Amino acid sequence: MKLKLLFTGLVISAISANAQLSTINENFNNFTPGNTTFPQNGWSAIVAPMTGAMPPVSPRMLVVGDTDKTIQSYAGNNAVASSYLIAPQIVAPTGDKTLSFATTLVSPSPGPGTLQIGLASNPTDMSTFVPVGSVINVTTIGAVQNISVNIPASNASYIVFKFTPSSNHVAIQIDNVVYNSATLGTSDLFSSEDNLKFALNEENSALQFVGKAQPKNVEIYSAVGQKAASGKVENGLFDISTLHAGVYFILVETTDGKAVKSKFIKK
């Protein structure tokens, strides 16, 4: 009987470990910082090999930060080879979701790098990597880019970030990874007691508010906490035509003095 119970427990653990995710919302703040911390929390990494350059400095996939953590791909002494960060396994994509994240070049990188999103069918074999979208040029230290990529229908179920340096010691950072439906903003984002909902309009140029509560002022922040827009709601609409594609956080002050927080993805 004990053996049977033990076997059952192992089966349950295996099923849980292989569970596929329908969405991802990861800011990496619960990750363990360090140079050799992968795999963790379902994420894994394949780093570029060491070279014979002296002094020997190995490429690494780093978790950095104290409370506000990020992921950095560091080239070490390998100036050309790519490193890969692999997200947890997702349900095979059907083309109705978008991947959004923030990226920047990290000081003191001596040159730029590129970032390519892709899908892979095997998390340990990057020969299965298929690029999705355009190559992203990461060129300016500290200049945060909010990126949004449509993930097409595929049998591959691993989203992969491919980092490629242009010289030794290049470091590229990512944070605030969201894989979800392309348009967010209905009742699942506001609690029902707020009686306030919003959605992106068809032109993807404005937030449209509905509900019993009346919005007064709106503040919008980028995925890294920088204010991107603010102002009043006019005729139930708030203009976001000047915002770049990416993930944003929204703070709404209602006419009865409540403050409501949520987020949305602009394509």
In this structure, are 86 and 176 located in the same domain? yes
Residue 98 CA, chain-centre distance (Å), reads 10
Q: Closest Cα to residue 151, out of 128, 178, 119?
A: 119
pLDDT at 33: 94
User: Which of the residue ranges 43-47, 125-129, 189-193 would you say has the lowest mean pLDDT?
Assistant: 189-193
Preceding peptide of 56 cis, ω within 30°: no
In this structure, are 130 and 213 located in the same domain? no
In this structure, are 50 and 168 located in the same domain? yes
| Better-scored residue on pLDDT, 65 or 52 | 65
In this structure, are 25 and 154 located in the same domain? yes
In this structure, are 253 and 125 located in the same domain? no
Answer yes or no: is pLDDT of 163 > 50. yes
Answer yes or no: is pLDDT of 193 > 50. no
Per-residue pLDDT reduced to its tens digit, 196-244: 677 777 777 888 877 667 788 898 888 767 788 999 988 888 999 998 8
Answer yes or no: is pLDDT of 79 > 90. yes
In this structure, are 93 and 66 located in the same domain? yes
| Better-scored residue on pLDDT, 225 or 161 | 161
In this structure, are 209 and 82 located in the same domain? no
**Amino acid in position 23:** T
Quick one: CA torsion of 7, 88, 188, 149, rounded to 10 degrees? -160
Q: Residue 31's domain is classified under what CATH number?
A: 2.60.120.200
| Mean pLDDT to the nearest integer, 65-79 | 94
Residue 8 pLDDT level (bands cut at 50, 70, 90) = very low
Q: What's the sign of the alpha-carbon dihedral 228, 225, 34, 108?
A: positive
In a domain, 4, yes or no: no
pTM over 0.85: no
In a domain, 2, yes or no: no
pLDDT at 18: 56
Q: Closest Cα to residue 78, out of 163, 183, 153?
A: 163
In this structure, are 121 and 215 located in the same domain? no
Per-residue pLDDT reduced to its tens digit, 98-152: 888 899 999 989 999 999 999 999 999 999 999 998 999 999 999 888 888 889 9
Q: What's the sign of the alpha-carbon dihedral 28, 29, 33, 37?
A: negative
In this structure, are 147 and 230 located in the same domain? no
In this structure, are 89 and 146 located in the same domain? yes
Q: Residue 250's domain is classified under what CATH number?
A: 2.60.40.3080
pLDDT at 9: 37
**Cα–Cα distance for residue pair 229/75, rounded to 1 Å:** 35
pLDDT at 250: 86
Last residue of a domain, one of 150, 181, 212: 181
In this structure, are 52 and 96 located in the same domain? yes
In this structure, are 79 and 129 located in the same domain? yes
pLDDT at 204: 79
Query: How many folded domains does the chain comprise?
Result: 2
Range of the domain at 53: 20-181
The DSSP secondary-structure symbol of 90 reads B
In a domain, 1, yes or no: no
